[in-house]
Structure 1
Amino acid sequence: MELTRENSRTMIYYDFRSGLTQKQCVDRMISAFGDKAPSKTTIYRWFAEFQRGRVKLSDDPRQGRPKTAVTQENVDAVRKLIEEDRHVTYREIQASLDIGMTQIQIILHEQLGVKKLFSRWIPHSICEEQKAASVTWCVRTLERFHAGSSNAVYNIVSGDESWIYAYEPETKNQSRVWVFENELKPTKIVRSRSVAKKMVATFVSKTGHVTTIPLEGQRTVNAEWYASICLPQVVSELRKENCNRRIILHHDNASSHTAHRTKEFLEQENIELLDHPPYSPDLRPNDFYTFPKIKLRGQRFSSPEEAVDAYKTAILETPTSEWNGCFNDWFHCMEKYVKFRGEYFEKQ
């Protein structure tokens, strides 16, 4: 049975009336229909429509040319425009082909299945062998943990290091605000990041934040600090109620993480290691979730120590459900890595 727009809107409306959140609705639809589920944007838009009192599920009358404009000739023409200029806009396509905006959207998203993503810096130009290694790791990890459904996921602890600044300016995206028609566009003074900073190592699990350990008395992480100061505190926190608790440690390939001293400690404490593919930042929970979410951009602190205290407080205030969602998203990231054959990808 084909999932029509009216079918999906009926299910979205049912979830809305049942008191589910938008995210819960998204998760339910993806679980039931996979790639054929309506997009997150569509679900959030219909929740907003229902909140405004809408009950009609059929489309409103649309402007633009009839669907007859969605011809193979126009589909091929749009594909050619995209291949020639990856930055081509809706308006430029419309001006070039003289077809309606609705038909352009149908061609782009239903016929060609393309999405427009922001460009971004990536940390390394990866070769085909490295992409293949990332995909292999994802396939192996998905199989090992049953795509995130295995109870063994609760034994995983993922750790990573990051700088915490006394002041770090907001990103351009964070500083966006709503403005009414005829209002002046807001201006923003460009400020520099503070030089006062402190390195912390943060460890998280599916059930929540485990611990955050500041780097004291030095500026760089080395194997001695990691194996003799940092990891023992992590283990102590995890095993304070059960000294035999199983721990699966996930961290990246930094030299302090792969050093012989660190490996000795892990073996001594009977800690399993979940390795990490090189140059794969999208596959580190702290990188794609904790640090972007918790970092206190735009706030000014009197010292790095005060900033670290605020960072810890913000982490502790994060509900368990969000950490659970973080680890679910982690396995979704692995699935995307397999789908995109190891290429970097933006949030979908």
Structure 2
Amino acid sequence: REHFRAMIFYDFRRGLSRQECIDQLASTFGNEAPHKATICRWFNEFNRCRSLLTDEPREGRPKSAAVPENIDAVRELIMQDRHVTYREIQASLGVGMNCIQMILHEHLAVKKICSRWIPHNLTTTQKKDRVNWCKKMLKKFDRGASNAVYNLYTGDESWIYAYEPETKQQSTVWVFQNKPNPTKVVRAQSTSKQMLTCFFGKTGHVATVPLEKRRTVNSEWYTTI
């Protein structure tokens, strides 16, 4: 291309017109000659006192910052703190917000959702024991058809904490693709707390009993209430 530009520049300095330059290049190079519009554009450039025949540097699309190093860095930030925000990730890496969103949603395929509150964090063994007990009770009382089931009551005790609850935004965490939704057991720092025991029967809630201070929940306590 620069060879043709040099020829166009030579014809321009000789004082030839655009059409004369077009005709000379076409007669010499045939179909390989530059297009008419290209020759006219370069004549306009030379009229503006341009002498550089190479392409001028120009700003193109910036190189993407979604490189493996940044992707690994974002993954590490999420693993360290599932509550980390877009702004904190951007401040740590020093890249644009569009790049942060691309890494999170396209490369890591993570999403930010609220944790589901649960009263207790049971182990697998504890869950199986509860399921087995329920199956035995259903079988024993003919799946609820027996009136004896009305004589069954169950209860459980739990600490009730006084604390400032998190907002929905504060409780959101990053979750990777194909991972279960998060849960949390509320155990926030509290200025006060009260032990309560709730009892339920077949018809629903029966009673809620607060525990006296310094009293221990055991079998003896259950037989006295």
TM-score, normalised to structure 2, is 0.32
Q: Which has the higher helix share?
A: 1
TM-score, normalised to structure 1, is 0.22
Q: Which has the higher strand share?
A: 2
Structure possessing the higher radius of gyration over alpha carbons: 2
